[in-house]
Amino acid sequence: MLRTLGHGIYPALVFAMSATAIAGPEEDRNALRAFYEQRFPSVELDAHGDGAYALDAAKREQWLEMEDFPPYEIAIDDGADLYDEPLADGSSYADCLGEDAPVVKQHFPRFDAVSGEVETLEQRLNNCRTAAGDEPWDYLGSEMSSLMAFIAYESRDEQIAVEIPDDPRAQAAYNDGKEFFYTRRGQLNFACSSCHVSMAGNALRAERLSAALGHATHWPVYRLKWKEVGPLHKRFIECNSQVRAEPLEPQSDSYRNLEYFLTYMSNGMALNGPASRK
């Protein structure tokens, strides 16, 4: 079931993927899905929502034991309390998030036509706060992560449905995120795609490299290493640092565009956050 593959085994496919550089988001998504389908014929595409644990039976066993007593449960409870606390002007997060609230995770990140930029769910929540007269939260802080954990939990099993509207600014944001993903950087000169596409499934030191498909399904995440629940952009910071590249600020333009691209790649997959990881 576990297959470790060397580099460059599928030159034809890699070529096919770079040839789609000028293609649209939907062609990109289909090409990436086809790539993983060929690379991991025995793994259902939806199973990649479990990250590396879809590709490593022994690690999966340990992980399932960890999920028996989910370490993110407290964050969900804290987040539920925060969600119920009225904002400074007496309004609620539900008022701000719209009629589907709190089941909204599947629609984020989204393109905001007013600012002309990608808006993540974390930003939306801080926008709800500041519009009501509250202070914004720290993007790496426990309040934001707890409220995100609650919303992720409520949104479980919804299919990711990120849209890239027919607006040149939205297309540009998507293309920027895609370029970030495929660009080599840092002293080690690795792109995100080097590890999570070309070498997906291989072992890197003690870790198994996950497929990028599913990278956006399960946030926020309780990591044993962090000893707390943290957001996707914290993982971006870590993966950038790992190749000795200068990490960016959480919620920076580049990271939001990267999230837009990555989440679009996972469109149609079921949300399964919050989750635990080592």
Taking the least distance from each CB to ligand HEC, the nearer of 88 and 188 is 188
Is residue 185 a contact partner of residue 258, using CB atoms and an 8 Å limit?
no
Among residue numbers 113 through 142, which ones bind ligand HEC (CB under 6 A)? none
Q: Which stretch binds ligand HEC (CB under 6 A): 107-115, 124-132, 158-166, 232-240?
A: 232-240
* Encoded amino acid at 3, one letter: R
Nearer to ligand HEC, 20 or 242 (CB): 242
* Of 249, 245, 246, 244, residue with least CA distance to 234: 249
Dihedral sign of CA atoms 256, 139, 276, 2 in order: positive
Question: Is 174 in contact with 263 (CB distance < 8 Å)?
Answer: no
Taking a C-beta distance cutoff of 8 angstroms, is the pair 211, 200 a contact?
A: yes
Query: What does the radius of gyration of the chain's CA atoms come to, in whole angstroms?
Result: 18
Q: Least CB distance from residue 209 to ligand HEC, whole Å?
A: 5
**Tokens at residue 113, please?**
């036509």
**Closer Cβ to ligand HEC, 79 or 230, answer by number:** 230
CA distance 246 to 153: 32
Q: CB under 8 Å to 195, separation ≥6 — which residues? A: 204, 209, 239
Would you count residue 233 as binding ligand HEC (CB under 6 A)?
A: no
C-alpha span between 243 and 187 (Å, rounded)? 6
Q: Is 204 in the site for ligand HEC (CB under 6 A)?
A: yes
State the minimum distance, in angstroms, from the CB of residue 112 to ligand HEC. 22
What is the footprint of ligand HEC within residues 152-191 (CB under 6 A)?
A: 190
Minimum CB distance to ligand HEC smaller for 63 or for 137: 63
Query: Smallest distance from the beta carbon of 94 to ligand HEC, in angstroms?
Result: 28
Span 29-48, contacts to ligand HEC by CB under 6 A: none
In the complex, least distance from residue 147 CB atom to ligand HEC, rounded to whole angstroms: 20
- Residue among 87, 243, 248, 270 that touches ligand HEC (CB under 6 A): 243
CA distance 187 to 245: 7
The yes or no reply on residue 277 touching ligand HEC (CB under 6 A) is yes
Among 196, 233, 234, 256, binds ligand HEC (CB under 6 A): 196
Q: CB–CB of 223/52 below 8 Å?
A: no
CA distances to 21, 112, 137, 153, 163 from 128, rounded to whole Å, are 36, 14, 11, 20, 21
Name which of residues 40 to 99 contact ligand HEC (CB under 6 A).
51-52
- CB nearer to ligand HEC: pick between 33 and 129: 33
**Of 75, 82, 97, 192, which lies in the binding site for ligand HEC, with binding defined by CB under 6 A?**
192
The residues that touch ligand HEC, with contacts defined as CB under 6 A, are 51-52, 190, 192, 194-196, 204, 207, 209-210, 215, 221, 235-236, 239-240, 242-243, 258, 277
